[in-house]
Amino acid sequence: MKRKQKVFSPIVAIIAAGAIVVILVVVLLLVQKVGQPTLERTGTQQTTQGVPAIQNTNDFNNVASQLDNTDLNELDRGLDQLDADTSTF
């Protein structure tokens, strides 16, 4: 008695190849956008978010002092306000 072998359908292969191509294109587009600053619309304001590169020790010391002088309570108040705003939905 001969067994009937299942043949891998060419249609399935074409669909799988197309899905792989679509995934690769999406990943490549996302990778290209990661290095670019993002333009966000917040209410009526537009903000561009970018961080300058640290090129010498003075830049590093300036950034370190800004980080040391950051008021964490202010950040907490902002997060608490966001939490209160989202809980009203």
Q: How confident is the model at residue 15 (pLDDT cuts 50, 70, 90)?
A: very high
* CB contact burial 13-41 (16+ within 10 A = b; e otherwise): eeeeeeeeeeeeeeeeeeeeeeeeeeeee
- In this predicted structure, what is the pLDDT of residue 56? 92
The residue-averaged pLDDT of 7-25 equals: 88
Domain boundaries, the chain: 10-34+56-87
- How do residues 26-84 score in pLDDT, each as one tens digit? 888 887 766 655 555 555 555 566 777 888 999 999 989 988 888 888 888 888 888 88
Q: How confident is the model at residue 2 (pLDDT cuts 50, 70, 90)?
A: low
- In this predicted structure, what is the pLDDT of residue 29? 84
**pTM for this prediction:** 0.32
